[in-house]
């Protein structure tokens, strides 16, 4: 778990801000659920045999003797809230997004943390492929807005309760034949939850899985039609994808569509999946809620920020002005000037320690402020001062009453001239 400090946080705010704005355009409203939930919620939805529930949860008993877990993902808490507030009685289709920390006890490395952040969305109430396509379109537009390139959409269908049993049976039969090549975990998973073997990170298990039966060959007619429909719609939307029949994702609740967005950037190492999701038409009912189909995804904010950092773009906004004080007697006037300019919408830096003009000018330089204004007795008496451009060039004479106006005009001129 780590601290995020100014200097880096602007990247996070940029990503979060884009998500809020863009998801809003698609009609998604934000939900905030508690950091901790009843442990049973995750066991019953994410699945007991998944790495997340089996190995990675921060689980503890509270003082009332209840078992709680820090949320390892956002889909189950959102579903719990949807059920608890009987949202299905209020509207037929619901679009929610969330962002915030998730907790998994994993081995720390680049792009993998114990407290990490997700931005995710859930659409409840439509079982149609159009909903899946719309959601992927939203992710594609989001990655586009972030100017992240080289991200591939991987697509698969896991079938439903009608066709998955046949695939399961075939998979188990195949895995039995390769039992000795599997890791100890997978030997167990084979009995309890064979799909999980396909998600094992062990290279030998992956090799076994790769040569196993292809889930797409087992899809029943309605699942096949849904998958075909989805691909057609992605093509209509101009979204490129690859079909990957080995992709199952690390959670148990998926039916039919699953997808992942994978970045090919060396900065991420093996943590190259920036986001993923899928359809979970049976989960609500399984949690004791209404029979409502749903589809959702979650993006790893940490990994998006890593990629953005690699792009070298910066999102910090330096102060518009540094107010320096020429003499002891002008200290209060400078404090008041800074206050007024901030009220007028400007970013103003001011050294509250006072000190020599020379040391203040050093601070001004360091602050990255575009202009410095020195306030002394002369300026106070005349009501006139000078805006000194820190990048060099001639000082601009300005009436103390017009500082905000002049600086705003300068800001505008820079914005129109484009980035330097
Ligand atoms: P992985 O295969 O990388 O472990 P996952 O399948 O466990 O990912 P999901 O549960 O689908 O991941 O979570 C969605 C996204 O959240 C991931 O694609 C990833 O970007 C991010 N994510 C998951 N776990 C972590 C973590 N420990 N640290 C940082 N980001 C994470
Ligand atoms: Mg994982």
Question: Could you write out the DSSP letters of every residue in 335-358?
Answer: HHHHHHHHHTT--EEE-TT---HH
What pLDDT was estimated at residue 200?
Answer: 87
Per-residue model confidence as pLDDT tens digits over 357-369: 999 999 999 999 9
Ligand 2 geometric centre to CA of 328 (Å): 59
Ligand 1 geometric centre to CA of 275 (Å): 7
The angle formed by the CA atoms of residues 309, 313 and 317, to the nearest 5 degrees, is 110
Ligand 2 geometric centre to CA of 56 (Å): 9
Rounded Cα–Cα distance for residues 221 and 225 (Å): 6
Task: Average the pLDDT over 18-23 and give the result.
Answer: 98
Per-residue model confidence as pLDDT tens digits over 184-235: 999 998 888 888 899 888 899 999 999 999 999 999 999 999 999 999 999 9
- Mutational pocket test of ligand 1: of 298, 299, 301, 304, the residue with most ligand atoms within 8 Å of the beta carbon: 298
| Any atom of ligand 1 within 6 Å of the Cβ of 154 | no
Index of the ligand 1 atom closest to the CA of residue 52: 7
State the pLDDT confidence band at 249, using cuts at 50, 70 and 90.
Answer: confident
Rounded Cα–Cα distance for residues 154 and 187 (Å): 27
What pLDDT was estimated at residue 268?
Answer: 83
Is the pLDDT score of 60 beyond 80? yes
- Mutational pocket test of ligand 1: of 271, 296, 299, 308, the residue with most ligand atoms within 8 Å of the beta carbon: 271
Ligand 2 geometric centre to CA of 8 (Å): 24
Index of the ligand 1 atom closest to the CA of residue 201: 2
What pLDDT was estimated at residue 312?
Answer: 87
| Any atom of ligand 1 within 6 Å of the Cβ of 101 | no
What pLDDT was estimated at residue 314?
Answer: 86
> Which among 321, 266, 271, 259 is positioned nearest to 295, based on CA atoms?
259
Is the pLDDT score of 419 beyond 70? no
Ligand 2 geometric centre to CA of 52 (Å): 7
- Mutational pocket test of ligand 1: of 246, 262, 276, 305, the residue with most ligand atoms within 8 Å of the beta carbon: 276
Rounded Cα–Cα distance for residues 304 and 99 (Å): 13
Is the Cα dihedral 173, 177, 178, 183 positive or negative?
Answer: positive
Task: Average the pLDDT over 363-392 and give the result.
Answer: 96
What pLDDT was estimated at residue 418?
Answer: 61
pTM higher than 0.85: yes
Lookup: tokens for 176: 């039995």
Rounded Cα–Cα distance for residues 273 and 346 (Å): 40
8 A C-beta contact, residue 335 and residue 384: no
| Any atom of ligand 1 within 6 Å of the Cβ of 196 | no
Q: What percent of the chain has pLDDT over 70?
A: 99
- Pairing of β 242-243 and β 67-70: unpaired
What pLDDT was estimated at residue 386?
Answer: 97
Query: At a CB cut-off of 8 Å and minimum separation 6, what does 56 contact?
Result: 72, 104, 105, 106
Residue whose CA is at the smallest distance from ligand 1 atom 23: 300
Ligand 1 geometric centre to CA of 258 (Å): 14
Index of the ligand 1 atom closest to the CA of residue 111: 29
Per-residue model confidence as pLDDT tens digits over 318-333: 999 999 999 999 999 9
| Any atom of ligand 1 within 6 Å of the Cβ of 261 | no
Ligand 2 geometric centre to CA of 377 (Å): 63
Strands (E), 270-395: 273-279, 294-300, 321-325, 348-350, 371-375, 384-389
Task: For residue 257, give the 3-state DSSP assignment.
Answer: strand
| Any atom of ligand 1 within 6 Å of the Cβ of 106 | yes
């Amino acid at each position: 778990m780590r601290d995020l400090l100014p200097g880096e946080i602007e990247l996070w705010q940029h990503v979060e801000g884009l998500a809020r704005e863009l998801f809003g355009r698609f009609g998604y409203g934000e939900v905030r659920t508690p950091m901790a939930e009843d442990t049973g919620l995750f066991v019953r939805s994410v699945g007991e045999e998944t790495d997340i529930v089996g190995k990675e949860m921060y689980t503890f008993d509270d003082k009332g003797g209840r078992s709680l877990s820090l949320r390892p993902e956002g889909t189950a808490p959102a579903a719990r809230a949807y059920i608890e507030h009987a949202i299905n009685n209020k509207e037929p289709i619901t679009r929610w997004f969330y962002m915030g920390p998730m907790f998994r006890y994993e081995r720390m490395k680049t792009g993998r943390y114990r407290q990490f952040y997700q931005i995710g969305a859930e659409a409840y109430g439509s079982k149609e492929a159009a909903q899946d396509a719309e959601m992927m379109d939203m992710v594609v537009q989001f990655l586009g807005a972030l100017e992240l390139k080289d991200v591939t959409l991987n697509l698969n269908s896991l079938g439903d309760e009608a066709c998955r049993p046949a695939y399961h049976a075939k998979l188990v039969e195949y895995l039995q034949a390769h039992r000795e090549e599997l890791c100890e975990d997978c030997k167990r998973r084979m009995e309890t939850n064979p799909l999980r073997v396909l998600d094992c990170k062990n290279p030998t298990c992956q090799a076994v899985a790769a040569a196993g039966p292809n889930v797409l060959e087992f899809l029943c007619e309605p699942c096949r039609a849904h998958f075909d429909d989805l691909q057609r719609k992605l093509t209509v939307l101009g979204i490129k994808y690859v079909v990957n029949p080995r992709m199952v994702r690390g959670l148990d609740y998926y039916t039919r569509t699953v997808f992942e967005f994978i970045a090919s950037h060396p900065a991420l190492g093996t943590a190259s999946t920036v986001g993923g999701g899928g359809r979970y038409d049976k989960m609500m009912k399984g949690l004791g809620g209404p029979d409502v189909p749903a589809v959702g995804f979650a993006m790893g904010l940490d990994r998006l920020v890593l990629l953005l950092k690699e792009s070298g773009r910066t999102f910090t906004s330096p102060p518009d002005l540094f107010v320096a004080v020429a003499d002891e007697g002008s200290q209060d006037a400078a404090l008041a000037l800074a206050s007024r300019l901030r009220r007028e919408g400007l970013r103003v830096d001011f050294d509250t320690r006072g000190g020599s003009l020379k040391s203040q000018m050093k601070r001004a330089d360091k602050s990255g402020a575009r202009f410095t204004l020195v306030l002394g007795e002369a300026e106070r008496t005349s009501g006139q001062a000078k805006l000194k451009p820190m990048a060099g060039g001639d000082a601009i004479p300005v009436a103390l009453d017009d500082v905000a106006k002049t600086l705003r005009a300068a800001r505008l001129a820079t914005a129109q001239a484009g980035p330097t």
